[in-house]
Amino acid sequence: MTLLLSHLSRHFTDAAALDDVSLAIAPGEFLALLGSSGSGKTTLLRILAGLDYPQSGSVTRGGHDLLSMNARERKVGLVFQHYALFRHLTVTENIAFGLRVRPRHARPSRTEITDRVEKLLKRVQLEGYGGRYPAQLSGGQRQRVALARALAVEPDLLLLDEPFGALDAQVRIALRRWLRNLHEELGLTTVFVTHDQEEALELADRVAVMNRGRIEQVGSPEAIYQQPATPFVCEFIGKVNKFELQREQDRMICGALDFGADLWAKRYDRAVAYIRPEHLALATDTGWKARLRHIYLAGSVAHLELALDTSEQLIEVDVASEDLLRLGLQQGAELYVQARTATVFPLANDTGEAKSEDRRVLRPHQQPY
Partner 1 sequence: MRTTAHVSRPVSWQRRALHVLLILAVVCFMSVFLLLPLAVVFVEGLRGGIAAFIDTIGQREALASMRLTLLVAAIAVPLNLIFGVAAAWAMTRFQFRGKALLGAFIDLPFSVSPVISGLLYVLLFGAQGWFGPWLEQHGVRIIFAVPSLVLVTIFITLPFVARELIPLMQAQGSEEEEAARVLGATGWQMFFRVTLPNIRWALMYGVLLCNARAMGEFGAVSVVSGHIRGLTTTMPLEIEMLYNGYNEYDHIGAFAVASLLALLALLTLAVKTLLEWRYSDQIAPHTPGGH
* Minimum distance from residue 12 beta carbon to partner 1 (Å): 10
- The H-assigned helical ranges of the chain are 41-49, 71-74, 91-100, 110-123, 139-152, 169-186, 197-203, 221-226, 231-236, 321-327
Question: Which CB, 98 or 277, lies closer to partner 1?
Answer: 98
* Minimum distance from residue 91 beta carbon to partner 1 (Å): 14
Count of Cβ atoms closer than 10 Å to residue 226 Cβ: 16
Following DSSP, what letter does each residue of 198-261 receive, concatenated? HHHHHH-SEEEEEETTEEEEEE-HHHHHHS--SHHHHHHSS--EEEEEEEETTEEEETTEEEEE
Per CB under 8 A, contacts with partner 1 among 101-130 are: 101-102
* Minimum distance from residue 331 beta carbon to partner 1 (Å): 44
Question: Which CB, 85 or 203, lies closer to partner 1?
Answer: 85
83 lies in the binding site for partner 1 (CB under 8 A): yes
Stretch that binds partner 1, among 15-23, 149-157, 329-337, 357-365 (CB under 8 A): 149-157
Residue type, 251: R
Contact 355, 348 (CB under 8 A): yes
153 lies in the binding site for partner 1 (CB under 8 A): yes
In the list 4, 16, 58, 133, the residue contacting partner 1 (rule: CB under 8 A) is: 133
CA distances from 260 to 221, 253, 281, 341 (A): 28, 7, 17, 11
Query: Could you tell me which of 70, 119, 72 has the C-alpha nearest to residue 92?
Result: 119
97 lies in the binding site for partner 1 (CB under 8 A): yes
Question: Pattern of binders to partner 1 over 161-180, x per CB under 8 A?
Answer: -----x--------------
Question: Pattern of binders to partner 1 over 39-68, x per CB under 8 A?
Answer: ----------xxx-----------------
* Count of residues engaged in binding partner 1, rule: CB under 8 A: 30
Residues in Cβ contact with 202 at an 8 Å cutoff, skipping those fewer than 6 apart: 176, 221
85 lies in the binding site for partner 1 (CB under 8 A): yes
**Torsion angle in degrees (nearest 10) through CA of 224, 230, 234, 235:** -130
In the list 82, 110, 119, 363, the residue contacting partner 1 (rule: CB under 8 A) is: 82
In the list 63, 88, 350, 351, the residue contacting partner 1 (rule: CB under 8 A) is: 88
Q: Which residues of this protein are in contact with partner 1, per CB under 8 A?
A: 49-51, 71-72, 76-78, 80, 82-88, 97-98, 101-102, 133-136, 139, 142, 149-150, 153, 166
